Each structure stands twice: as C-alpha cells, then as structure tokens.
A and B are shown apart, each in its own frame.
Chain A
Amino acid sequence: MPQDRSPVLELAGITKSFGGVEALRGVDFALYAGEIHGLVGENGAGKSTLMKIIAGLHPEFSGRFLVDGQETRFRSARDAHAAGIAMVHQELSVAPDLTVAENVFLGNQPTNRLGIVQWRRMAREAGEQLARFGIDVNPMSRLGDLPIGQQQLIEIARVLFSGARIIVLDEPTSALSPPEVERLFATLQRLRDEGTGIVFISHFIEDILRVSDTVTVFRNGRKVAESVAAATTKGALIEAMIGRGGEALEHSYTDDLMLPTSNGGSVVLKAEQLSLARSLREVSFETRSGEVLGIYGFMGCGQQELSRILFGKLTPDSGTLSVDGRPRRFASTADARRAGVALVPESRRAMLFHQEPVYKNISISILERISALLLKPAREREIAKRQVQQLQIRPPVVGLDLGMLSGGNQQKVALAKWLSYPPRLLVLCEPTRGMDVGAKNDVINIVRDLRQRGLAIIVLSTEPETVLSLSDRILVLRRGAVVREFSNEPVSKDRLLAAA
C-alpha cells in the first residue's frame, strides 16, 4: 500500500453537527493517490456527511482539511470541483431533458475557439466513453427517456471520465445489474492504476472487500476501524459496523430457500396481458391476499413501469387490471388509492415532503379517511406516533421536519403512511435499497407483519436478496416479459440470476 507517500486528501479531527447534534465526531481520514478506499457503516453513521464535506456541500465544519498537504476550505461544490474532486451521489442527479452526450460532458462541453459547443465531437466522444463502459445508447437521445439504471450508469460515467483526481462514489452499485457492476469495478481499478484516489461507499460488503485497498468503518459519527482490505473479513467489518457479533446476520443466500405452497387466499389483483410501448410485453399475473409476490429482474426490465401502471400513474397500451374481481381502469393515482392500491416508489425524494413534519408525511394518504372537511391534527399526530413507535423511526418526534431524518428513517416514513389504514394491495419498489442491515431487517419484519394481516404485497427489486428474503412466490422479468415463475419450489440467488 502506498502509505509511505503523503495523502492527496487528508482530514483531521472533523466534527460536523446539525442543529446541535454531532453527525461526525473528531474523524480522521486520509486518501492516497492510486488507492480505492472503501467506507462502510450503518445508515446515519456519518459516511455520507463526510463525503459531502469532501465534495464541498457542507462548507461549515470544524477540523483540518488538506488537499495535497495544503490546508483548504471548500465553500461550494464548485471549489471542490476546481480542486479535482468529483462525486456520484446516492440519489440520481442528472439533467433528464438534456441529451446523453450533454450529461456526460455536463459543465465541460468541448468548445471551439469561439466558445461554440462542438456537438459532433461531443457526441462522438460521449459515445466512445460510454461504449468503453459497456453502455450502448445513442448519445443524442434524451437522457430522461432511458431506463433509470442506464441513467445512473451514465451519471457514474460522467464522473469517472471527468478527469477528476479524487472520485467519491456513494452507493453506486445498488441500481446496477451484476455485469454492470463488473464493468464498473474494472473501470475503477483502471483509474486507480492511473493514479486516481477513489472513495467507495457501499452496503454490499463483498463488493467493498473485492474492490478496495483500504476499508474504513464508521459508527455513530466516529471512525471505529481502518484496515487493509486483504487483512479483514466480512464478519469483522459487520462486527465493527454494528458493534456486536455479526455471525447471525451473515446469512448465505446461495443456499436453497423453499418457497411455501399457496395459502389459498382470495385473488386481490389480477393483471392480464399488460403491454406498454417498449417496456412491457403481455405481462400477466395475479396476487392473493396474505401473499408476497416478488418480481425480480435487472435494472430496466420493466419493473418500474409495471409498478406505475398498478398505481395509475401510467396507462398501459393494452391489457386489463382487476382488483378484488372488479375490472379497474385507473385515470389517476387517486383512483388507484381509492381502489385499495398503494405504492412506495424507489426514490424517497419522489414521495416525501422534506419541508413538512413527519406526521404530515404519514397522514397525507389517509386524510380522506380521518377528516371529511376539517383537519384533525391531534388525531394525525396520534396515528403518526403509533407508526413511529411501531417502525422504530428515529428520532421519535412526529413534529420534526422530515428533512432532518436519515435516509433509512425516511424510507420507513414512506412505508408508514400506508400502514394506518392498510390498502388491499401494497406495491413496494426497492424497499430496502441503500439501507443498512438493521433497517433492512426492520423492513422485512414490517412486510411480514402486513402479510399476516391479509394484505396482498408486491415487491419489485433488482436486488435478489430483497426478493428472496420477502417473497412467497417470485416472477422473473426480462426485457418486459415474464420469463420464469418460482412457486412451491426451491430457489436461490444463483437460480434467480440464471433466470433473469
């Protein structure tokens, strides 16, 4: 390891608080050129906060911050960018209305001497870069028209090929398929060999161990361990992360898992021959009360579109839906909600009100049931409090603005809003994406409890673990079509991957 050289980036005694509470406490961190530095820790442990400091997004903090041995202070993301630091954020931040090529070159389009953008050159180079990364798209197509997984890859590609010396990747693999992850790792290793310093945050500890040179573990705003990747193990990292013995959590999903026989509940949703443009082809399935139907597939297999059709946000080109035996045609999401369908989309930003208190976020979808005309804030708070307790949302203060909560807790709020008056059918998109082990287990328990109460649940995910740990029956989607159904038979991660 290049420990004999001086680090390109060095942080010493970093403390950062939000409203009087410390998110980081005296953290030291060093990154060397030609190093991939893995960061692990549960949600809210302080990883993302530290990375945002590095990327210039949190200008106020205490501690020393050195770039190339020089004490520096970034006042904005622009300063960080000028110093050669680029970051891929956990949540997608692209310009959907620009072309793929413009997104790849966002902020540094090639221009001629007059300052005119050289479109042809830009398109050609963007195409070449993306092709090297294994993405085959027309560089002049609108980015927003692409599936979300490809958008994420393009965002990563933009940062990787921006020429930055220091690259921070916050959960870059959660939306990627295995071959895409492979290509990402190959690219990271090449960049490392060329001398780039890379920080890699992930909940997938195998990924961290595979690709990193050094691993740092965070817990409760402190750095609790740092080690050469080759000298540590998954068990040791998990133990450091959660501060207790981690053997029980290290459950292997390569073992076969036996799916149960049908519980014989009544059919809640029946979808027949759903088709949508290029996204879905004649998808048919039904789901029963008290059953969790998992729908697995790689990014862009049509899951997202399917979930939107079930919730009335997209209208299928053909095919029919029926809920509890009644044919339904949803003109709006309000129709779907009244028919008893609820959706939790994959993006928290898309479904929560960050400037509003927690209780308003929870009560929004059930207001109709608890108030005809006038609001009943006391009742809202009471309902919210019950959910916050049940789901162990932290901090347990329903009057707090949602934006003050950590990501995992926000995700739970997103779930909580459908639980007070549960729907007939709950559609969950990527319910555990970006969550730590503890929060994942919480969500799994919530879903099992809802199934017990007789809901029909559909879980759509690109993470095999999520589908396997939740489902009673599993459909595999590939390129918009159902290619395999697992029911009443053994299933494993390998088998799922093989089917998709």
Chain B
Amino acid sequence: MASGEAVPAAGHRPGRVGPFLRSQMRNIAPFLTLILLTAFFAFASPSFATLDNFGNILTQVSVTGIIAVGLTFVILCAEIDLSVAAIANVTGIAVAYFTLQESYVNIANVPMPGWAAILLALALCALLGLVNAFGLTVIGIPSFIMTLAMMQIAAGISALLVRGQIAYKVPPLVSTLGSTSIGGIPWIVIVAALMLLGGHLVLTYTRFGRYVYMVGGNREAAEYAGLNVKLILGSVMVISAVCAGIGGMLGVAHFGSAQQNEFDTYLLDSIAAVVVGGTSLFGGRGGIGNTIVGLFVLGVLNNGLDHVNIDSFLKILIRGLILLAALVINVYAQRLRERAAD
C-alpha cells in the first residue's frame, strides 16, 4: 500500500513550529490582546493595577460571564442566540414579579414563596429556550431570525409584567447570590466561575460536549455519523436561555432593581466575549477557556477606559473598534488554521 506516503509521518514534526503557531492563532491572539490592554492601562493609570480593581473587574464581568456560558455552546454549534439579553431581562423581572414588593411599588404582582418564584422564573426562561429550539429545529427558522423574534417576545413579556414600573424585591436566595459577598468574594463572581467551570467540563469531558463540537465542525458529517443533530441544536438553545435566565435573576439582585431594557447592553457584551475570546463564528472551534479570556478583554477594556479619564462618548466608539478588530482576528485565525492544515 503506497498511498499516503506523501503525508507527514507526524508525531515527530521537524520544523513545524510555524504551522502550529498558525493553527493556535485563535487562542494566542485574544490572550495577547488581553496582555497588551492590561499593560497599557496599568501604565496609563496608577489606580488600574490594584487588587481592589481586579475585584471590580471580576464583579463587572460576572453577569456577562453567566450569559456567555450558554452562548458559547450556541456559537460552537455555528448558531447564534440574539435573545439572551431579553431572556435575562424577562427572567429577572419574572422573579421579582413573583416576590412580594414594597407597597409603593405599583405592580400587580403575584407574591409567592422564594423557591416558587425562582422555579417559575427558571421555567419561564427554559420555556422561551424551548420555543427557540422548536423554531430552529422543527420549523427550520434560522437561529438568527428565530432569536430576533424571541428578543421581541421576551421584551414584550417584560413590558406586560412591569408596565413601565420598577420592582426592587427578589427572593432572599437570589438577593444573597446577587448582591452579597463571602470572605470578601462576591457570590456573583463565585456563581459565574462555577458556571464557567461547569460549561467547560461539559464541553470537554462529556459525550454531549463532543457532539456540540462535531455538529459545529461539520453538521452534515454529524448527521451521517448518526447523531441526532436536531436534539443537540435544540439542547444548546435551551442551555443558552437558562444561562441567560440565571444571569438575569442575579443581575437584577446585583443592580438592585428590575425594570424594562435593563440588560440591553448585555447582548453585545456576551456575544463579544465569546467571539473576542476566539471561539469560531463558523462553529466547532473554541470553548469556555476562550470565553473567559474574552470576558477579561472586555472587562479590562470597560474598566480601564473609566480609569484613564476618556470622553465617555468616545468609549462607545473604542469598544466598537476593538470588537471589530477581534472579529477580523477571528475570521483570519480560521483562515490561517485552514492553511496550516492544508
């Protein structure tokens, strides 16, 4: 059998550093970005590189991080979920809706025990995720459009529940996890870290995680391998919605209030965290590790810009430009990798 002789006898690969680096571009570039940004802000502002401020950054990215866990699954499957922020919002509002509010809050709410309120809120976000899953897999609506519709639907439910008012009370468990600390570490940071860890373990060590990568890598091949592709796609949509819901509940406790449009910036932030971290928009490459790096890039950027005393209107533009740069790297890394594998 002489076929395949033209192929490298890998294992020992002399002079393969170049291709290796190129194939790792996706992981290296975001990390370099993070180091450069950190170095820049540390140099530009004395108040940036302090332990206190590090804690601030961790707290600031926690809600985004919780939402980004589920979104990582979705993007790894080469789908997108534009409804995460709206689902976070409606879940946060729902948990407050089912909690007894102060008398001056003018909301026709339905008070319930804390555990019931939490379960109902979780059921709501899971249900919205199921609707996304149904639209994507059974009806066949592209996820981009399906979740765009869901974004409106969730915002609509939020509007109906609060009717322009603001609610403040949430169940004690939620308010503890969202707004208190233990041993100096905010609970919300611990929850975010645990969820990121959980997501990583699922993606790396479970059969389901492998399927997620395979479906994202080549959907047709996954189908020819006899995988239930629709079930996997549906599952990631539900996972995404539930993660968003948890982020929403803790976020409401963290901010101290539940109101309409509270999470609007989190859609862009969570997508940015996943993509800036280097998870491929074409699916099959990346993971929670990348998302964590992406979260820190965003966190350092947002926090650092506050420290260097910059025009707050300019900040928005800068964030946009950094996101664009990350997208360019993301697409470029894919190309380099393909060339390295060629």
Contact = CB atoms under 8 A, between A and B. Distances in A.
Interface of A: 18-24, 42-46, 49, 58, 219-221, 242-243, 311, 313, 332-334, 336-338, 342-343, 345, 350-356, 360, 364-365, 367-368, 371-375, 392-395, 397, 399-401, 403-406, 408-409, 417, 435-436, 438-439, 442
A392 B1 CA distance: 8
Interface in B46-68: none
A356 B5 contact: no
A355 B285 contact: yes
Contact of A333 (B1, B4, B224, B337): B224
B241 interface: no
A20 B4 contact: no
B7 A404 contact: yes
Given A345-B224, A375-B206, A409-B3, A352 B16 contact: no
A395 B1 CA distance: 12
Given A334-B228, A401-B341, A44 B4 contact: yes
B8 A21 contact: yes
Contact of B205 (A354, A374, A438): A374
B217 interface: yes
Given A353-B214, A367-B210, 20 more contacts: A19-B10, A22-B6, A44-B4, A49-B6, A334-B227, A352-B218, A354-B218, A355-B284, A360-B210, A368-B207, A371-B207, A393-B4, A394-B5, A395-B7, A401-B341, A403-B341, A405-B4, A406-B6, A438-B1, A442-B1
A180 B285 CA distance: 42
Contacts of A332: 228-230
Contacts, number: 169
Contacts of A354: 218, 341
B16 A350 contact: no
A372 B1 CA distance: 37
A351 B220 contact: yes
Nearest to A345: B224
A404 B10 contact: yes
14 contacts: A24-B6, A44-B4, A219-B2, A333-B224, A333-B227, A342-B226, A374-B205, A394-B1, A394-B5, A397-B10, A401-B341, A436-B2, A438-B2, A439-B3
A307 to B, nearest CB: 11
A375 B207 contact: yes
Nearest to A441: B1
B27 to A, nearest CB: 14
A486 B16 CA distance: 54
B182 interface: no
Contacts of B217: 353, 355-356
Nearest to B339: A60
Contacts of B9: 21, 395, 397
A395 B221 contact: no
Given A356-B214, A374-B206, A394 B224 contact: no
A372 B284 CA distance: 22
A365 B222 CA distance: 9
Contact of A395 (B4, B207, B229, B337): B4
A343 B224 contact: yes
A442 B63 CA distance: 56
